[in-house]
C-alpha cells in the first residue's frame, strides 16, 4: 500500500485514538509528535519485518557490531529523511499545524553513548543499512545516559540523564527472545559420555531482555536492527507479603542489583563496586548477544563449522573483548565442539577494532574479579593464554617475549591481548594510528601476526552530518552538482570546480552566516551570553581530556587577554571561542579545566576593554543534537590533540564537511585530511610524531626552562595561581610545570603563530571561502559509507 498524504492523515487519527482515546487535534503538541513518530514507525516496520524475514530465510552473511556505546542522536526526523518521506511529512505537518524541525524538541535523545566511540558505532550502523549490508548492532539499553551536565558557578555538576522518562518510540521490546546470563557459582569437571564436562552450580541468573531499534537505510527499503539488552531478575520480581507489611525483602535487593547492570552508562570504575559492575555489564551484553546470534543461526540449520560463512562479529574497542572467551564457551560446552576446531571458528568469526594507543585506556581486569564473577569464562581465558604462551615460546624460545604478549600477567587479564589473539583481523582507525600500533604499541603482536593487521580510517555519515544538520548547504550542493552525491559522497569532489567561483562561494558564506545566527541563538539560550555573528567562531567540542588539550586553547585565550590589556596597538579579528565538553566525574584535572574556561569567560565577557575582541562561551551538556547546530555554525575547528594520542577523531570530519577550517596537529585523521585538502587549506602546527618521540627519548622537554625563556607565556601560566580568575587553579599549574605529558607548552608558540595566520587569511574573504569549498569537496572521502565498504570487502568478506 502506497504512503500518501491521505493515508498519513487517516493513520494519525487512528493512532491518536489508540494511544490517547482522543482526536488527534485534541492531543498536546508533544503527544502529536509522538503519534506522528509512531505512524512512521509503523510504515518502516513493514520493511523491517520483510528485511528480517529475508535475512532469516536467506544465506547472506551478516555482521554483528558489538559496542558498549551507540550514540544515535535523535532519530525521528532522520528516519523520515532516510525513509524518503521528508517532503510528504512536511506537507502533512503543515496541514495539521506541526513543524518538521519541532521533532527535535520532543524527540528522545538516546543516552547510549559518550563520545566518538559511540558516535562512530552509530555512523557505521547507518552506513551498513544505507549501502545494503546486513549489519546489526549489539549493546546495552541503559536506563540513564552518562550524565546530564550543568554548570554551576563555573563547575561541572553531574545529574541523571533520564532519557527514557517520556518513553522511546523507536524501540520494540522482545521479551520472548530473552536470554539467561549466569554469574558467580562454581565449576566442577565431571565425566559425561567419556568426556570431562564442566558443570556450573550455585550460580545467579540474570535475564537479558532485548529491545530492538530499527536502523533505516537511505531510500533503499533496508531496515537493519540494533539490539539493546536490559537486565532484570528472572521470574517474580515482587514480594507481595513483604510489601504488604511495609518492609523490603531479599528479593527487592536482588532486583536492585540485577537492574543496576543496565542502569547507567559507564559506572564509576574508580571503586571496587563500580569496577565489578562494569565487568558485569561487559559480560552481560556479550553473552546475551552471542547466545542470540548462535541460536538464530542454529535454527536456520547452520552448523558451528559453517558459522564463519554465516556471520561475523566486530569487537568495537576492548569492552566486548569477552566475546572471544564466551564464544568459545558456547561452542565447547553447549555445541560440543572440540577445542582446536572451536578456536579456529572463533578466530574466523571475530575481528577487533583498536581505538587507542594509550595503555591506560586498554582494559585490564583483575583475575580475582573475573574468576569469581564468570568462573567458566575465566577457565577458558586461562587455557587460551596457556596455549598462546606455548605457541610464542615455541617460536622464540624466550620467556621475556612471551611475557610481553601474554594475556594474563601480574594477576591481570589484558583484554586487548585477548581480542588480538582471538581475532583474524585487528585494525586501527587512521593511517598514523595503525602505524603507531604496528611499529610501537602492538609491535610484538604485529611481528607474530602481520597478516592480521590493517587500517580502516574512521568515517561519518553525511546523512546526519550534512543532509540533516545543514539543509541549506545540502540544497545548494544539489543545485550545483546534482543530488547523486547523497548515495555516492565521493561525488562531492566535483565542488572543487566551484572553489574559485565568486557567486558560489558567496552563497556558501551566506549559508555559514545563517548557521552562525542559529548557533548564536543556542548560545544565548544555554548561557545567556550574546555573541556577534561577525566574529570568527572558533570551536572546540569533544570529550574533556588532557590529550585533547582544551587547556592549550584556553591558555591561548588568556594570552590574548594580556596582549589586549598591555598593548594599546594590539589588533586582531574579533573571535568567539566556543567550548563544549563533558569531563568524567572522577577526572579532577579535566573538571578544573572546565572551571578555568568558565572563569576566564566570566572575566573577559564582562570587561568592555576585552569583549570587543574576544568572548568565551561554554555550552553545557554537549550532545548530538547540540553538535548538529554547533558544527555547521563554526568557522574554525580545533583539533589540537597531542600528536600520536588521538586515534582518529571524527569531529574533524564533521566540521570540514560543514565548511569549517581545521587548526590541528598532525595527529589521527588530521594527517589524512591534510593529504586530501592540501597543506594550504588546513592550519597545521606543533610537533610531528617523530619530533615528539625524539624529545621523549632524550627527556629534553623542560617546562620550567621553557617558561623562563618565554616570559610572556610564563606570565600567562602564573595567572593560574595568582587569583586573577577568582579560583584556585594551582593543580593545573602543577600539571603544566611538573612534566606535562601532553606537551601543552612545547606547542604553544606554534599554536599562537598559526592563530595569527588564521586571522590574516580570514580577512581575505575570497581566499577563505575558496578554502572552505575545497574542504567540503574533499569531505566525501571521509564518509562512513567508504569506511564500511572497506570493512565489508577486506575484513568481513561480504
Catalogue the active-site residues.
Answer: 355, 542-543, 548, 650, 654
Q: Give the span between the Cα atoms of 30 and 495, in whole angstroms.
A: 40
Residues 6+ apart with CB under 8 A from 87: none
Backbone angles phi, psi at 113, to 5 degrees: -160, 175
Count of Cβ atoms closer than 10 Å to residue 642 Cβ: 24
Q: Give the span between the Cα atoms of 394 and 177, in whole angstroms.
A: 45
Backbone angles phi, psi at 226, to 5 degrees: -110, 115
On whether the CB atoms of residues 223 and 51 are closer than 8 A, the answer is yes
The grid coordinates of residue 603 equal 572575566
Q: Give the span between the Cα atoms of 261 and 154, in whole angstroms.
A: 32
* Cα angle 657-361-539, degrees, rounded to a multiple of 5: 30
In three-state secondary structure terms, 539 is strand
- What DSSP letter does each residue of 33-67 carry, written as one string? HHHHHHHHHHHHHHHHHHHHHHHHHS---EEEEE-
Q: Residue 631's closest CA among 608, 612, 609, 654?
A: 654
The grid coordinates of residue 47 equal 520493511
Give the DSSP H/E element, type plus range, for residue 128.
Answer: helix 116-130
On whether the CB atoms of residues 683 and 662 are closer than 8 A, the answer is yes
The residues pairing with 661 across neighbouring beta strands, listed in sequence order, are: 636
Q: Give the span between the Cα atoms of 469 and 463, in whole angstroms.
A: 8
DSSP structural state of residue 633: T
Q: Give the span between the Cα atoms of 125 and 788, in whole angstroms.
A: 9
Q: Residue 579's closest CA among 557, 609, 607, 608?
A: 557
Q: Residue 545's closest CA among 584, 579, 577?
A: 584
Q: 159 exposed, middle or buried (CB, 10 Å; 0-12, 13-18, 19+)?
A: exposed
DSSP structural state of residue 176: G
Compute CA 655 distance to the chain's CA centroid, rounded to the nearest angstrom: 16
Instruction: Please report how many Cα atoms fall inside a 13 Å half-sphere around the Cα of residue 16, on the Cβ side.
Output: 19
Q: Give the span between the Cα atoms of 602 and 744, in whole angstroms.
A: 23
Q: Give the span between the Cα atoms of 174 and 209, in whole angstroms.
A: 7
Residues 6+ apart with CB under 8 A from 174: 209, 210, 211, 212
In 483-631, DSSP assigns E strands to: 536-541, 575-580, 614-618
Q: Is the sign of the CA dihedral 535, 536, 542, 545 positive or negative?
A: negative
Say which residue the cell 583539533 belongs to: 639
Q: Residue 329's closest CA among 303, 278, 294?
A: 294
On whether the CB atoms of residues 685 and 756 are closer than 8 A, the answer is no
Q: Give the span between the Cα atoms of 334 and 328, in whole angstroms.
A: 10
Buried b (16+ CB within 10 A) or exposed e, 240-267: eeeeeeeeeeebeeebebbbbbbbbbbb
Amino acid at each position: 500500500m502506497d504512503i500518501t498524504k491521505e493515508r498519513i492523515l487517516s493513520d494519525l487519527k487512528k493512532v491518536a485514538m489508540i494511544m490517547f482515546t482522543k482526536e488527534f487535534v485534541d492531543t498536546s503538541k508533544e503527544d502529536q509528535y509522538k503519534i506522528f513518530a509512531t505512524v512512521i514507525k509503523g510504515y518502516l516496520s513493514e520493511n523491517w519485518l520483510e528485511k528480517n524475514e529475508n535475512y532469516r530465510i536467506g544465506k547472506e552473511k551478516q555482521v554483528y557490531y558489538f559496542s558498549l556505546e551507540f550514540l544515535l542522536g535523535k532519530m525521528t526526523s532522520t528516519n523520515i529523511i532516510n525513509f524518503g518521506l521528508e517532503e510528504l511529512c512536511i506537507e502533512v505537518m503543515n496541514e495539521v499545524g506541526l513543524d518538521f524541525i519541532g521533532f527535535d524538541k520532543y524527540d528522545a535523545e538516546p543516552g547510549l553513548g559518550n563520545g566518538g566511540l559511540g558516535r562512530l558505532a552509530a555512523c557505521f550502523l547507518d552506513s551498513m543499512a544505507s549501502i545494503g549490508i546486513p549489519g546489526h548492532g549489539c549493546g546495552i539499553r541503559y536506563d540513564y545516559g552518562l550524565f546530564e551536565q550543568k554548570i554551576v558557578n563555573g563547575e561541572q555538576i553531574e545529574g541523571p540523564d533520564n532519557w527514557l522518562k517520556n518513553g522511546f518510540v523507536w524501540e520494540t521490546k522482545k521479551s520472548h527472545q530473552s536470554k539467561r546470563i549466569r554469574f558467580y557459582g562454581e565449576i566442577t569437571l565431571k565425566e559425561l559420555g567419556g568426556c570431562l564436562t564442566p558443570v556450573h552450580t550455585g550460580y545467579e541468573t540474570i535475564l537479558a531482555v532485548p529491545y530492538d531499534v530499527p536502523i533505516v537505510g537511505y531510500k533503499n527499503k533496508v531496515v537493519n536492527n540494533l539490539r539493546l539488552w536490559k537486565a532484570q531478575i528472572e521470574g517474580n520480581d515482587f514480594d507481595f507479603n513483604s510489601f504488604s507489611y511495609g518492609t523490603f525483602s531479599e528479593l527487592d535487593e536482588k532486583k536492585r542489583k540485577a537492574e543496576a547492570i543496565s542502569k547507567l552508562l559507564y559506572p564509576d570504575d574508580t571503586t571496587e563496586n563500580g569496577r565489578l559492575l562494569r565487568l558485569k555489564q561487559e559480560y552481560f551484553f556479550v553473552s546475551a548477544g552471542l547466545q542470540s546470534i548462535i541460536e538464530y543461526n542454529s535454527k536456520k540449520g547452520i552448523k558451528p563449522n559453517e558459522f564463519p560463512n554465516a556471520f561475523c562479529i566486530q569487537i568495537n574497542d576492548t569492552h566486548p573483548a569477552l566475546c572471544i572467551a564466551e564464544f568459545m564457551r558456547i561452542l565447547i560446552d553447549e555445541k560440543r565442539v572440540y577445542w582446536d576446531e572451536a578456536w579456529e571458528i572463533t578466530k574466523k568469526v571475530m575481528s577487533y577494532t583498536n581505538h587507542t594507543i594509550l595503555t591506560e585506556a586498554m582494559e585490564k581486569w583483575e583475575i580475582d574479579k573475573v574468576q569469581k564473577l564468570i568462573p567458566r569464562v575465566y577457565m577458558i581465558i586461562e587455557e587460551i593464554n596457556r596455549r598462546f604462551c606455548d605457541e610464542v615460546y615455541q617460536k622464540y624460545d624466550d620467556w621475556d617475549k612471551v611475557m610481553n604478549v601474554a594475556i594474563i600477567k601480574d594477576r591481570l587479564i589484558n583484554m586487548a591481548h585477548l581480542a588480538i589473539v582471538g581475532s583474524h583481523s585487528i585494525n586501527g582507525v587512521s593511517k598514523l594510528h595503525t602505524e603507531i600500533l604496528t611499529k610501537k604499541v602492538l609491535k610484538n603482536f604485529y611481528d607474530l601476526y602481520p597478516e592480521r593487521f590493517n587500517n580502516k580510517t574512521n568515517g561519518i555519515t553525511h546523512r546526519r552530518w550534512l543532509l540533516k544538520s545543514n539543509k541549506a548547504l545540502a540544497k545548494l550542493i544539489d543545485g550545483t552538482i546534482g543530488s547523486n552525491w547523497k548515495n555516492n559522497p565521493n561525488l562531492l569532489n566535483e565542488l572543487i570546480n566551484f572553489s574559485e567561483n565568486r557567486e558560489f562561494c558567496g552563497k556558501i558564506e551566506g549559508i555559514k552566516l545563517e548557521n552562525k545566527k542559529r548557533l548564536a541563538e543556542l548560545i544565548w539560550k544555554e548561557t545567556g551570553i550574546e555573541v556577534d555573528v561577525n566574529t570568527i567562531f572558533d570551536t572546540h567540542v569533544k570529550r574533556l581530556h588532557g590529550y585533547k588539550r582544551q587547556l592549550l586553547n584556553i591558555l591561548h585565550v588568556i594570552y590574548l587577554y594580556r596582549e589586549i590589556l598591555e598593548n594599546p596597538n594590539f589588533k586582531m579579528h574579533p573571535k568567539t571561542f566556543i567550548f563544549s565538553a563533558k569531563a568524567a566525574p572522577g577526572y579532577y584535572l579535566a573538571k578544573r579545566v572546565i572551571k578555568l574556561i568558565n572563569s576566564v569567560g566570566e572575566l573577559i565577557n564582562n570587561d568592555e576593554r576585552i569583549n570587543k575582541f574576544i568572548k568565551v562561551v561554554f555550552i553545557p551538556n554537549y550532545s548530538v543534537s547540540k553538535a548538529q547546530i554547533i558544527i555547521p555554525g563554526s568557522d574554525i575547528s580545533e583539533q589540537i590533540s597531542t600528536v600520536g594520542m588521538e586515534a582518529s577523531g571524527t569531529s574533524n570530519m564533521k566540521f570540514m564537511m560543514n565548511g569549517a577550517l581545521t587548526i590541528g596537529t598532525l595527529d589521527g585523521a588530521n594527517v589524512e585530511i591534510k593529504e586530501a585538502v592540501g597543506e594550504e587549506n588546513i592550519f597545521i602546527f606543533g610537533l610531528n610524531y617523530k619530533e615528539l618521540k625524539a624529545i621523549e627519548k632524550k627527556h629534553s622537554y623542560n617546562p620550567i626552562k621553557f617558561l623562563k625563556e618565554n616570559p610572556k607565556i610564563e606570565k600567562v601560566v602564573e595567572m593560574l595561581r595568582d587569583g586573577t580568575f577568582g579560583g584556585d587553579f594551582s593543580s593545573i599549574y602543577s600539571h603544566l610545570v611538573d612534566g606535562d605529558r601532553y606537551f601543552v607548552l612545547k606547542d604553544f608558540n606554534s599554536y599562537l603563530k598559526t592563530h595569527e595566520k588564521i586571522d590574516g587569511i580570514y580577512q581575505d574573504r575570497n581566499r577563505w571561502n575558496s578554502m572552505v569549498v575545497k574542504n567540503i569537496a574533499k569531505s566525501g572521502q571521509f564518509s562512513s559509507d567508504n569506511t564500511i565498504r572497506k570493512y565489508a570487502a577486506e575484513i568481513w568478506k561480504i
